[in-house]
Chains A and B, each alone.
Chain A
Amino acid sequence: MQVTPWNTYQNRREFLNKMIKIGAIASIAPSQLIIAKNNRHFLSQTPIKSAQNYNNYYEFSTNKEAVMHLANSFSISPWSISIEGEVKNPLTLSLSDILDLESVERVYPLRCVEGWSMVIPWKGIELRKILNQARVKTTAKYVKFVGTYRPEEMFNQRRKILPWPYTEGLRIDEAMHPLTILATGMYDETLSKQNGAPIRLVVPWKYGFKSIKAIQKIIVQKEKPKTSWNMQIPSEYGFYANVNPSVAHPRWSQSREVRIGELRKRPTNPFNGFKNEVSHMYKNLDLELNF
């Protein structure tokens, strides 16, 4: 029998308490139900040490166990994040502004495109909260995220290994999806630098490289943004990058993954286990082509 992780248990209680306070159990929005259901998957969490000592963060190093040391010198305060582009109300939020917003806690599996995964309890805010605050125009189709360019601190940016600054993108409906969060913490701690402090994206049904770290700008736009990995190797890293065991990376299989803490590989789930929640967004899309 698997013991429910404390956070998961706690999340449910908090969630239910909140609902009772509001006194509106009957009027729970469907999306909130989805998340409540998601958190009921009794995923056994990766130890915090592993999550903090094994990081794919190309700005610092391609060696996952070196990132934690190299990220030490990265300065993260003061920090602000701007929301601009196709919005009626462009915003610049300081980190404390974001921390003041209503936070959520989510336990998500994170699946790296390299074939390993972790289960991490995140703390953050739903991205749609901020986008709604900025009042996205109806002309908006995509959201672009821009990371940090600081070669003097981010050691590996001196190599032209990827187009810097790291850039990622989502379709507007993906960005507005309640599962998509901006994380500022994990495991009841503030986000560590090697995990993308002070603020990072978490899109649980996509490969980890979509979940950009140390975000500085969020630009809502009409055209599809050019993203770093896609620009570097377009044949291997698509714009969508949905976790899909049946569409292989051109060089290696995506049908299985090593869960950190285990020795053997296990099968990978379509959409990283969020098929019910997100597959409707891709009904009219050929996922073979739009990998």
Chain B
Amino acid sequence: MSWLFKIKQNEKIFRFTIFSISIFPAILLYYKYSTAGLGINPFATLSHQTGHIAIVYILLTLSITPIRRFLCNVSIKLNLNRGKRLSDWNFLIKSRRQLGLFSFFYSALHLSAYLFLDIGWSWEYFSDDLAERSFIIYGLVNFIMLFLLAITSPTIVRKKMGRWWKKVHRLMYLIAILSIVHFVFAAKHGNNWSIVYGTICLVLLSNRAWIFLSNKSRRQKDDGLETYRN
């Protein structure tokens, strides 16, 4: 396990890796677009794939906290030298912001596909859609919330916001639920990805609910004594 904590010392490399992996789908889409490789219906490919990737990134962002807790528990069970403290896994938190920003990025691409290709910036179509299409509203509300989280993500803003930052950024739970609702209403009959996404989202959120509701004494402590426990 010690290699992992060397990565901790080289946080920048870790984040750069995540960045490279995360930007890859966008580059691939652009490459396919420029080589006419988006299939027979490029509009559908662009709007569907950016949407899928956005949901995946929203769920990835939400998975960091449970993964961190899980890794910590595993380290305690295996009685490893390093990793028994939650703070040993703090480098994951920094990449959580990255993942969150990528979910914003892919949502923005998804929204652009709608604005440029679907309605072609027509105010008439847009207002019709808002009046009649519930999933457009969910998607738009979601995008606005993601935008809010994105602009409040720099460290300076975070520090200025104090305790409020955490409260505001809990909107991510709502964003996850709403993005799946958006998907359910937009997808055609027979598309079962919503079950996959919904299950993952349920696991990630119920894990938090479980921790929150469980006895305080059973919650993960981070006082440094974990290293000696077991």
> Residue B189 contacts which of A233, A248, A262 (CB distance < 8 angstroms)?
A233
> Residue A58 contacts which of B39, B116, B190 (CB distance < 8 angstroms)?
B190
Kindly state whether residue A258 has any CB partner on chain B within 8 Å.
Answer: yes
Kindly state whether residue B30 has any CB partner on chain A within 8 Å.
Answer: no
Kindly state whether residue B191 has any CB partner on chain A within 8 Å.
Answer: yes
Residue numbers in B under 8 Å from A252 (CB-CB): 133, 135, 186
Residue numbers in B under 8 Å from A265 (CB-CB): 43, 117-120
Kindly state whether residue B70 has any CB partner on chain A within 8 Å.
Answer: no
Given the interface pairs A58-B190, A62-B191, A233-B189, the reply to whether A253 lies near B133 with Cβ below 8 Å is yes
Kindly state whether residue B185 has any CB partner on chain A within 8 Å.
Answer: yes
B43 A258 Cβ-Cβ under 8 A: yes
CA distance A80 to B58 in the complex (A): 53
Q: How far is the CB of A238 from chain B (nearest CB, A)?
A: 15
Given the interface pairs A114-B188, A252-B186, A253-B125, the reply to whether A264 lies near B44 with Cβ below 8 Å is no
CA distance A258 to B42 in the complex (A): 9
Chain A: number of interface residues, binned into ranges: 20 to 34
Kindly state whether residue B223 has any CB partner on chain A within 8 Å.
Answer: no
Scoring B residues 193 to 225 as 1 if CB is less than 8 Å from chain A, else 0, what string do you get?
000000000000000000000000000000000
Those of A31-65 within 8 Å (CB) of chain B: 50, 53-54, 58, 62, 64-65
CA distance A264 to B188 in the complex (A): 20
Closest B residue to A54 by beta carbon equals B40
A251 B134 Cβ-Cβ under 8 A: yes
> Residue A260 contacts which of B41, B125, B185, B190 (CB distance < 8 angstroms)?
B41
A255 B125 Cβ-Cβ under 8 A: yes
CA distance A65 to B44 in the complex (A): 12
Closest B residue to A265 by beta carbon equals B118
> Residue A248 contacts which of B132, B188, B191 (CB distance < 8 angstroms)?
B132
A251 B43 Cβ-Cβ under 8 A: no
Given the interface pairs A248-B133, A253-B133, A265-B117, the reply to whether A116 lies near B44 with Cβ below 8 Å is yes
CA distance A233 to B185 in the complex (A): 13
Q: How far is the CB of B183 from chain A (nearest CB, A)?
A: 12
Given the interface pairs A264-B120, A265-B117, the reply to whether A253 lies near B128 with Cβ below 8 Å is yes
Residue numbers in A under 8 Å from B185 (CB-CB): 251
Given the interface pairs A114-B188, A253-B133, the reply to whether A263 lies near B42 with Cβ below 8 Å is yes
Q: How far is the CB of A160 from chain B (nearest CB, A)?
A: 11
Given the interface pairs A114-B188, A252-B186, the reply to whether A53 lies near B40 with Cβ below 8 Å is yes
A62 B40 Cβ-Cβ under 8 A: no
Kindly state whether residue A281 has any CB partner on chain B within 8 Å.
Answer: no
Scoring A residues 81 to 118 as 1 if CB is less than 8 Å from chain B, else 0, what string do you get?
00000000000000000000000000000000010100
A251 B133 Cβ-Cβ under 8 A: yes
Scoring A residues 257 to 281 as 1 if CB is less than 8 Å from chain B, else 0, what string do you get?
0101011110000000000000000
Residue numbers in A under 8 Å from B129 (CB-CB): 253
CA distance A178 to B128 in the complex (A): 35
Closest B residue to A229 by beta carbon equals B189
Residue numbers in B under 8 Å from A65 (CB-CB): 39-40
Residue numbers in A under 8 Å from B119 (CB-CB): 256, 265
Those of B177-193 within 8 Å (CB) of chain A: 185-186, 188-191
B188 A258 Cβ-Cβ under 8 A: no
Residue numbers in A under 8 Å from B44 (CB-CB): 116, 258
Residue numbers in B under 8 Å from A76 (CB-CB): none
> Residue B43 contacts which of A62, A64, A161, A263 (CB distance < 8 angstroms)?
A263
CA distance A56 to B122 in the complex (A): 29
CA distance A253 to B122 in the complex (A): 14
Kindly state whether residue A232 has any CB partner on chain B within 8 Å.
Answer: yes
B190 A255 Cβ-Cβ under 8 A: no
25 contacts between A and B (CB under 8 A): A53-B40, A54-B39, A62-B188, A62-B190, A64-B41, A114-B188, A116-B43, A233-B189, A248-B132, A252-B133, A252-B135, A252-B186, A253-B125, A253-B128, A256-B119, A258-B44, A260-B41, A263-B117, A264-B43, A264-B118, A264-B120, A265-B43, A265-B117, A265-B119, A265-B120
Given A65-B40, A251-B133, A258-B41: 8 more A-B contacts, CB < 8 Å = A58-B190, A248-B132, A248-B133, A251-B186, A252-B135, A255-B125, A265-B118, A265-B119
